[in-house]
Each structure stands twice: as C-alpha cells, then as structure tokens.
Chain A
Amino acid sequence: MSETPNETLTGAQITVRLLERQGVRLVTGYPGGAILPIYDALGQSTAIRHVLARHEQGAGFIAQGMARVSGEVAVCMASSGPGATNLLTAIADAKLDSIPLVAITGQVPKAMIGTDAFQEVDTYGLSVPITKHNFLVSSTEELLDVIPRAFAIAASGRPGPVLIDIPKDVQSRTIEVAEWPAPGQRVMPAPADGMALAEAASLIAAAKRPLLYLGGGVIHAGASELALELAEISTLPTVMTLMALGAMPVDHPLSLGMLGMHGAPYTNLALDECDLLIAVGARFDDRATGKVAAFCPQAKIIHIDIDAAELDKIKTAHVGIVADVAEALTRLLPLLPENPRAEWNARIDALKAAHPQPLPGVNDPRSHFGLIRAVAACLDDDAIVATDVGQHQMWAAQAYPLRRPRQWLTSGGLGTMGFGVPAAIGAALAAPERTVVCFTGDGSILMNIQELVTAAEQRANVKIVLMNNAVLGLVHQQQTLFYGQRLFASEFQSMPDFVAAARALGIAAVDLDQAANPCAALADAFARPGPCLIHAGIDAEQKVYPMVPPGAANRDMIGAQA
C-alpha cells in the first residue's frame, strides 16, 4: 500500500498526508501557535488549498457551505483556546443540521495539558455534546487511525461533525510510517426491514388522505428523485421542512411547500386533515410540528430515518423503518400501485384556493417579497441560495422558487445568525461555476461581516442581498405580537453605512434604495462576477406571516389571511 516504505514524518506531515489521501482539496481555517506545525506542513502541500478566514467561526461556516453544497465531508482548522472556542458555534450548528465536518484543532503540548497553559482550554470536554464524536489524540501513531475514522464517522449514518484535538508535541514528533491506512469512507447501514416496508406500502394503499413529509435527511441521502417518484406514483401531496426545501420543486403540482411555524395556511390545514403521515428523513422538530398533541391528530405515521433514536422520540410511529432513506424508498416504490387519489387532491386544491400564502407586495421589488422574487428573476435553478437567520430567512423560504436539492443553505436547527455570509463563501468555493446569493439582515450580517474580506480575497461569486429594516426583525415581531408591543433591545439606534462598509472591506456594493430602477440595478449586480453587497431598505412593520405562536397548534395561525 505504501508508496515509499518507512517514511519518517512528523505528526503534522502525517495529518496533511492523510487529508490528501482522503481526497481533501480545500480546507479553511485560521492559524495560531498550537496548530503551527500542521500549518507548516499544509504550506508544503501542493494538493490542498487553504482558505484563510478572518474569524474561526467564519472558517467553520465556510466549511459548512462546502459540505452542504457538495455532500462531502469538509475540513476546518483552528488553534487551541480561543481558536477552538470560536469554532464551537459552527460545530454545534453542523450537529443540529447533520452536516459532515471534520474540525481539527491544535492543543497545547501534552505535558502542559491541565496546567492552565497559555491558550489552553478543554476543547475535548467542550465539544462532547456538540459533536457526533471527538478525539483527543494522545500519540503521533494514533493519527493514522483517528483521521480516517473521523471521516468515516462524519459521513456514515446520520452525518455530523467530528472534532480532532491534536496536542502540539503530537504534531511535531516524528515517527516512521510503514503503511498508510485506507481513507475513511461512508459505511452503509443495514438494509430496511422488508416486512416493515410491506406494511408501509399497505398503509399507503389503504390511506384516503395521506401526506408525504420530507426532511433534511432526504437531501443528505441524495433521495430527492426517489421521494418525487414516491409522491407521483401514489399522488401524495408533499410538505417539506425548512431543511428539505428544494427536495421537490416548490411549483410541482403535489408540493405544499414548507410546513410549520411559518408554513403556508393551506399546508398546515392539510396536515390537520391527513389520515396518514409518511415522514422521510424528518425529525418532528418543534418548529415543524407546533403543539405535538395537535399535529396531524387523525394520522397514522410511517417514519423512515437513518437514526434509530429519532423513531418514537416525538411521535410514536405505526411503522418505523431505520434505514438509509434512499435504500428504503428504492425498495418501497415497486410495492406501490399507482393511485390517483382524485378526491383528496381536489380537497388539497380547494384548501390552496381558500387559504393561500399571503405574499403582500410580491410585484414590488422595493418590498420584502418583491425583492426576493426580483432576485430569483435574475437567476436560474443552478444558483445557490444561502440565508442568514431572521425574517429575511423565513421570507426567502416562503417566496424563493427553490427547485433542486442542495440549492438551499440555511441554518435550521441551531438558527445561527452569522451563518449566511461565510456559508455562501464556502458554497462559492465548492461550486465556483455557480452564482451564490445570500439573503441576510442588518442584524445577522454584523455577526460575521469580517468574512467580506475573505470573499474579496477569494473573489468568491457571492451576491449578498442585505434586507435592512434597522430592527432585529423576529424579536421585534414577537415583542409586538406577544409582549404588549414593548419593543426593547430590538431597534438599532445606530446603523452603519453598509454600502460604504462593504466597499471598505473590499467588495463592490450597490444601494437599491438609491437606484431609479431596482430590477435593472439587481440585474447589473448579478451580471458582474465576484462578490457584491446589494443593500435594500425594508419596512420594519412587515411581519413573517402566517405565524404559529410558540407552543400553539399549527392550525392556530396568526396573519393567515391574504
């Protein structure tokens, strides 16, 4: 197996060689004292390109953008102490959204661990609850086992982040390497239980008002085509979670779009009436279900997921299937007869007509929905859409015509403001042939605005659409609706000049508020390659509607009237 028997290499060189052998061609990170041996070795690599972020959290989200677009394990690096703690938010975000990452952190030398050494923090202990698995490497030899294993763990089963903490002396020590381990690969889970699949098929055949409920697992498994086939063969109206948007084109006749707290009125009302819910790669998140006891109250449940711990966690399934959803759907499809379900689909059409998604101002590019649609009009389905977290994120989820898997990058589970800009940069690095648009807000962008410098340095093709209403929109909305209109700490008293700030950080910027023709100004901005900030003022009184109040049943929506 080895190219040159008995090479003498440092732990740092071994780490870099193992990354190369793993097929890694792009890593992102931020150096510091305790990871300098690895950076020294990385600088000698001709195979791996390193993208320098401007904050470790930015590096973590750049790696996430790469992983979300490609589906492959992405790598980020940071030094010990504050470098590692700055990575944690991006790692926790990857855990909740099941994104495969390998995070490599430097640690103080083994002999100094536990002495409160300079830039020492218990990275291993801090990362236990937010990683799928983590390692503190105690010898240089161990790297040969740990690094391939980390990639296998990150990619196998339900994907997730793996952290490898490497003390500086482990990086510096030289050992002889006689043989290289095989790269870590995704291990396929056991196949779906055939009896359970047959039972699921008969439940689907017998159901009068079934609904298909797709989650992010469908995207991760590459099972969107199969899910579409399932929906079409059995004529199943289909809802998607925030994480699954793009699994089915939103304008497909069977699509009911996103469900839950900010789902369309007809979507949540249809769920109320269904007699069978087929959950695929979904985890019954509280933002999707609302009050659980009132979620699909009449429905039997088929639940297919790769993670056994998700079955019966929130809702008890009548048929639970633990499997890779692509494998399970491949075997379920031939068991299903075609079924037109004319009556149920007529009912769905009536719900759609009677209870549409309110889209005020959708034809006015100076309004929130109109701006999102005007951006979409500049792009085709090859474009990637990233978001930050807030009102702009929900409006984009409601109004952007998402049509393909891995088109939509958003922080779902953790809801991390500051996700958008670095994730969009990562997406542009992983897919340089595509245009990446990032919808952000005046709150979110300030949480990682330093990464605009990274975007400029990399000439990343990201178009950042900043929807500026000078308030913390979702907080403002909740204070208005549920806290007696007592607005506190949600209105920014001081606003930076974002257009000037973007230019100062090295990227082009355009202010739509100053443009005579905003659609022409948008088209112009999208036509130029490279990063650009597009600033647009938004009315602070606009709400994300409909809204299910926290803890309420999904049928009890506020603002559902068009």
Chain B
Amino acid sequence: MNAINRNENQALSRAVLEIDVANHPGVMSHVVGLFSRRAYNVEGILCLPVGDGRQSRIWLLVNEDQRLPQMIRQVEKLEDVNAVRRHHADHAVFTDLEAFFQA
C-alpha cells in the first residue's frame, strides 16, 4: 500500500486515541487488553513518558467501528488512565512516522 492510499484509508475508517496514563510496567497491557479481548485490532501504538516520567502518553491508531465509543468508555474506566482524547486519523502523530514504516 502506498502512502496516499494509506492516508485515504485512514481518513475514511480510522481514529487516533491520545491516552494520558500513569507510567508503570502494567499500564500498556491494561489498555491494549481491552481491545484484544474484544478482537478489536489496534493498528498502531506509540508510547513515551511525558514530563518527569511519572506519566506517559499512549497514542493508538484504531479502526472506526460502532464499538469505538464503548471502547473509549472502557479505557476511561481504567484506574491508571487520566484522560482520553479522540482525534481524526490524519493526526500528525502517525502520519509523520510514515517514513519509518515503508515496506
């Protein structure tokens, strides 16, 4: 798939979630576990610490699906999650990384 097609595909059917979390070894499995147990594929994952390192930010690229609002509510319920923000699929966080994901 070339980059243009990928972007078009994303714009049509994908969403980007920005999730502020406590930074510790289990938090990623809590978040992605909510998706995997529902057979809901996560297309892209980025995670880095922010500020003094006690918090991290997870970026997820996921398919748009009627289950997404429920997924977001489930993520918001997690004890280690402080905030969830939903963006369009053309958000720069993943599009700027295209160069690292050429086949």
Residues of A within 8 A of B (CB): 124-125, 128-129, 132-134, 136, 153, 307-309, 312-313
- Complex Cα distance A134/B73, Å? 19
Chain B interface mostly helix, strand, loop or mixed? Answer: helix
B70 nearest CB neighbor, chain A only: A313
Partner of A124, one of B26, B37, B74, B79: B26
Q: Are B77 and A136 in contact (CB under 8 A)?
A: no
Q: Are B29 and A125 in contact (CB under 8 A)?
A: yes
Whether A128 contacts B26 in the complex (CB less than 8 A), given A309-B70, A312-B69, comes out as: yes
Give the 10 A-B residue pairs with the shortest CB-CB distance, closest first: A309-B73, A133-B79, A128-B33, A309-B74, A129-B37, A309-B77, A128-B29, A129-B33, A308-B73, A313-B70
Q: Are B26 and A134 in contact (CB under 8 A)?
A: yes
Contact sample, A vs B, 12 pairs, CB 8 Å cutoff: A124-B26, A125-B29, A132-B79, A134-B26, A136-B25, A136-B26, A153-B79, A308-B73, A308-B76, A309-B70, A309-B73, A312-B70
Q: Are B77 and A307 in contact (CB under 8 A)?
A: yes
- Complex Cα distance A559/B26, Å? 50
B78 nearest CB neighbor, chain A only: A133
Note all chain A residues with C-beta closer than 8 A to B69.
Answer: 312
Of B30, B37, B74, B79, chain A has the most CB atoms within 10 Å of the CB of B79
- Complex Cα distance A216/B78, Å? 22
Q: Are B30 and A128 in contact (CB under 8 A)?
A: yes
Residues of B within 8 A of A (CB): 25-26, 29-30, 33, 37, 69-70, 73-74, 76-80
B79 nearest CB neighbor, chain A only: A133
Note all chain A residues with C-beta closer than 8 A to B30.
Answer: 128
- Complex Cα distance A309/B74, Å? 6
- Complex Cα distance A308/B33, Å? 19
Q: Quote the shortest CB–CB distance from A120 to chain B (angstroms).
A: 16
Q: Quote the shortest CB–CB distance from A170 to chain B (angstroms).
A: 15
Q: A133-B80, A307-B77 are in contact. List 7 more A-B contacts (CB 8 A).
A: A124-B26, A125-B29, A128-B30, A132-B79, A133-B78, A309-B74, A313-B70
Note all chain B residues with C-beta closer than 8 A to A308.
Answer: 73, 76-77
Q: Quote the shortest CB–CB distance from B55 to chain A (angstroms).
A: 17
Q: Quote the shortest CB–CB distance from B58 to chain A (angstroms).
A: 16
- Complex Cα distance A125/B33, Å? 10
B36 nearest CB neighbor, chain A only: A129
- Complex Cα distance A153/B80, Å? 12
B26 nearest CB neighbor, chain A only: A124
Note all chain A residues with C-beta closer than 8 A to B80.
Answer: 133
Note all chain A residues with C-beta closer than 8 A to B26.
Answer: 124, 128, 134, 136
- Complex Cα distance A520/B79, Å? 54
Note all chain B residues with C-beta closer than 8 A to A136.
Answer: 25-26
Note all chain A residues with C-beta closer than 8 A to B76.
Answer: 308-309
Note all chain B residues with C-beta closer than 8 A to A307.
Answer: 77
- Complex Cα distance A312/B69, Å? 9
Q: Quote the shortest CB–CB distance from A337 to chain B (angstroms).
A: 34
B67 nearest CB neighbor, chain A only: A313
Q: Quote the shortest CB–CB distance from B44 to chain A (angstroms).
A: 22
Q: Quote the shortest CB–CB distance from B25 to chain A (angstroms).
A: 8
- Complex Cα distance A133/B24, Å? 13
- Complex Cα distance A132/B30, Å? 10
Q: Quote the shortest CB–CB distance from B47 to chain A (angstroms).
A: 17
B73 nearest CB neighbor, chain A only: A309
Note all chain A residues with C-beta closer than 8 A to B78.
Answer: 133
